[in-house]
Amino acid sequence: MSTSSSAAAAVVTEGSAARRFWIAASSREAAFASYTPFLLSLAAGTLRLDSFRQYIAQDAHFLHAFARAYEMAEECADDDDDKATITVLRKAILRELNLHASVLEEWGVDPTKEIPPSPATTKYTNFLLATATGKVNGGKGSDKMVTPFEKTKIAAYTVGAMTPCMRLYAYLGKELAVFLKQDENHQYKKWIETYASSDFEDNALQIEELLDKLSVSLTGEELEIIGKLYQQAMRLEVEFFSAQPVDQHVVAPLSRYCDPKDKLLIFCDFDLTCTVVDSSAVLAEIAILSYQKASQDIGIVVGSSTTLRRVGKQFGVSFVPLFPGLVEKQRRIAKEESSIFKARSGILYTVSSWSEIQAFILGNYYS
Per CATH, which fold does 3-242 belong to?
Answer: Heme Oxygenase; Chain A (1.20.910)
- Of 132-136, 202-206, 298-302, 318-322, minimum mean pLDDT range: 298-302
* Active-site annotation holds for 165: yes
| Phi then psi dihedrals of residue 267, to 5 deg | -115, 125
Cα 72 to Cα 66, 87, 95, 359, distances in angstroms: 10, 11, 19, 35
Per-residue confidence (pLDDT) for residue 4, from 0 to 100: 42
pLDDT of residue 340: 63
Catalytic residue among 29, 175, 208, 237: 237
How do residues 50-109 score in pLDDT, each as one tens digit? 899 889 889 989 999 999 999 999 999 989 999 999 999 999 999 888 887 777 777 666
pLDDT value at residue 269: 60
Alpha-carbon distance of 346 to 27, in angstroms, equals 29
Reply yes or no on whether the pLDDT at 195 is more than 70: yes
Residue of 29, 74, 76, 165 marked active site: 165
Which residues on neighbouring strands pair with residue 348, listed in sequence order? 319
Q: Please give the share of the chain, as a percent, with pLDDT higher than 90.
A: 49
Is residue 274 among the annotated active site residues? no
Scanning the chain, the segments in alpha helix (DSSP H) are: 3-13, 17-34, 37-44, 49-76, 80-106, 119-132, 148-177, 189-196, 198-215, 220-242, 279-292, 306-314, 322-332, 354-362
Q: How many CB atoms lie within 10 A of CB 237?
A: 23
Question: Which residues neighbour 38 within 8 Å (Cβ) at sequence distance 6 or greater?
Answer: 47, 51, 55, 241, 242, 244, 246
What's the pLDDT at 141? 52
pLDDT digits (tens, 9 = 90+) for 221-276: 999 999 999 999 999 999 999 999 998 888 888 887 777 776 777 766 644 444 34
The pLDDT of residue 140 is 54
Distance of CA 331 to the CA centre of its chain: 21
pLDDT reported for residue 286:
56
Residue 347 clears pLDDT 90, i.e. is over it: no
pLDDT at 314: 77
Question: What phi-psi label fits residue 300: left (phi over 0), alpha (psi between -120 and 50 degrees) or beta?
Answer: beta
Domain ranges of the chain: 3-242, 254-362
pLDDT for the residue numbered 169? 96
Q: Does 155 score more than 90 pLDDT? A: yes
pTM: 0.85
The residue with greater pLDDT, 252 or 122, is: 122
Query: Can the peptide bond before residue 253 be classed as cis, meaning omega within 30 degrees of 0?
Result: yes
Give the separation between CA 292 and CA 312, rounded to whole angstroms.
10
Average pLDDT score over residue span 153-182: 95
User: CA-based diameter of the chain, in Å?
Assistant: 71
Local structure of residue 336 (DSSP, 8 states) = S
What's the mean pLDDT when you consider all of the chain?
Answer: 82
Q: Which residues contact 221 (CB under 8 A, 6 or more apart)?
A: none
